[in-house]
Chains A and B, each alone.
Chain A
Amino acid sequence: MTMTRRQLLILLPAAAIAWDSILAGTPEASPNYEMAEHWWAMLIDITKCIGCGSCVRACQLENQVPDGYYRTWVERYHIADWEMEYPKVDSPDGGKNGFPPAKEAGGKNFFVPKLCNHCADSPCTQVCPVGATFISPDGVVLVDQKYCLGCRYCVQACPYGCRFINPQTNTANKCTLCYHRITKGLTTACCEVCPTGTRQLANLKDPKDPIHEFLRTHSVQVLKPQMATHSKCFYNGLDGSVR
């Protein structure tokens, strides 16, 4: 391809403008949303969970999560008697299709829904070598799919096993707390479909959010508090055997 000097002089500014728009990136998607007014969290009431797996199915459909990978999943715990250190845990297909009848009668049985804890001091964001994962100013741990190298450091760093490598993109993937929904005034897909109200999205910066009353009046625990991750998934009725 040959090009005259005139053509080149016309093309160069056009290329510069195109490159400039690439650097500038996409414009704001939800103009009415103010990041500074939000600090997102989730409330999970274990005493209400029926293990129907609606949350797992909804998450998969909302976020196109590949089969066999889970941004959220439900575990069933069985503790025979006093041996709290040895719970029997199962989660067939992430609990997506419910749970088969219990193999052993008796004991203590309950469901625990799990997802990214959106820690305020998250180990996963600290290990990223390229700045591809971060805590957003409104408290959601996100992955920049364009920057992620797929090095798996963050997958190993998460104490809760909430991250995976998406086999389609070879980048780290995880719960975004349905960031594309909560910034539009909707709740997350899992909270939307939860039939018993086990899961509730909460904005800790909103003094009128019912989570404040709930936290004041219930014995609430986070997963692995000894990890000092400052998890923002608050569990009501969490048994000591859950890890």
Chain B
Amino acid sequence: MAAEPASIRPSRFWWNTGMKILQDTGHLFRVAAVFLVGFVAFLVLRSLLVPRSFGRYGHYRANAITEIAALPVHYAGHQVCEGCHTDVLDVKSKGVHKGVACESCHGPLAAHADDPAAVTPAKLDTRILCARCHQENLAKPKDFPQVNAPEHSSGAACNTCHQPHSPAMNVGVAQ
């Protein structure tokens, strides 16, 4: 190989070397461009697919909270019942059942509270209803009033003698 002419200037030498490096690195720029396009596509897709409320309070969708809070209510709550049935409240508040909520026995009645004419509460069988709480059982607290229901009433309904809203005997007989 012939020797380089001594007349070549140093600046020309650096120019040639620089061009040679760029010539071999073109593919790197293409790869970088592909990655950049992919990253931008990822950012665009992510902004489209991740719900906006995700991450507002933590690593979850904050709107899930409002969705759960918006579920329908079935038990109206005794305050709603007491708004209309003041006569029952008067009886109940004097007896031992004053702490028992209306829907504890009568079942979920938010639909009745919303439209009292369309939805009416079912008639209850006190033989089943009262026994749910007052049927005797060893595991119940000793100071809780308990009876062996079939033996206690000989098959008669409990409300023959007891007024369920205020079940002490003297109140029940007077009804």
A132 adjacent to B66 (CB under 8 Å): no
Among B52, B71, B133, point to the contact of A50 (Cβ < 8 A). Answer: B133
B13 to chain A minimum Cβ distance, whole angstroms, is 58
B154 to chain A minimum Cβ distance, whole angstroms, is 19
- Residue interface mask B74-96, A partner, CB < 8 A = 1: 11011000000000000000000
Among A63, A111, A195, point to the contact of B133 (Cβ < 8 A). Answer: A195
A131 adjacent to B67 (CB under 8 Å): no
Interface size on B, residues (CB 8 A): 44
A144 adjacent to B69 (CB under 8 Å): no
Q: Does A184 contact B (CB under 8 A)?
A: yes
B68 adjacent to A176 (CB under 8 Å): yes
CA distance A145 to B97 in the complex (A): 39
CA distance A27 to B93 in the complex (A): 40
- Residue interface mask A216-242, B partner, CB < 8 A = 1: 000000000000000000000000000
Interface size classification for chain A: 35 or more
A53 to chain B minimum Cβ distance, whole angstroms, is 7
CA distance A137 to B64 in the complex (A): 12
- In the bound complex, residues from chain A placing their C-beta under 8 Å from that of B131 are 98
Q: Does A38 contact B (CB under 8 A)?
A: no
- Residue interface mask B32-67, A partner, CB < 8 A = 1: 000000000000000010011110011111011111
A111 and B139 contact, Cβ closer than 8 Å, known pairs A23-B51, A62-B75: yes
Interface-centre pick from A101, A111, A142, A192 (highest chain B CB count, 10 A): A192
- In the bound complex, residues from chain B placing their C-beta under 8 Å from that of A186 are 73, 75, 77
CA distance A137 to B69 in the complex (A): 13
B138 adjacent to A98 (CB under 8 Å): no
B108 adjacent to A58 (CB under 8 Å): yes
CA distance A48 to B144 in the complex (A): 8
A25 adjacent to B74 (CB under 8 Å): no
CA distance A183 to B107 in the complex (A): 22
Among A62, A110, A132, A136, point to the contact of B139 (Cβ < 8 A). Answer: A110
- Residue interface mask A131-174, B partner, CB < 8 A = 1: 11111110000101111000000000000000000000000000
Among B48, B104, B135, B138, point to the contact of A193 (Cβ < 8 A). Answer: B104
B59 adjacent to A142 (CB under 8 Å): no
B69 adjacent to A30 (CB under 8 Å): yes
A184 adjacent to B61 (CB under 8 Å): no
B151 to chain A minimum Cβ distance, whole angstroms, is 13
A180 adjacent to B73 (CB under 8 Å): yes
Which 9 A-B pairs have CB atoms at the shortest separation, nearest pair first? Answer: A25-B63, A144-B64, A29-B70, A109-B139, A180-B71, A134-B60, A193-B104, A102-B138, A131-B60
Other A-B pairs beyond A52-B133, A132-B60, A192-B101, 12, CB < 8 Å: A35-B65, A50-B140, A50-B144, A51-B137, A54-B132, A62-B74, A98-B131, A131-B61, A134-B64, A192-B103, A195-B100, A195-B101
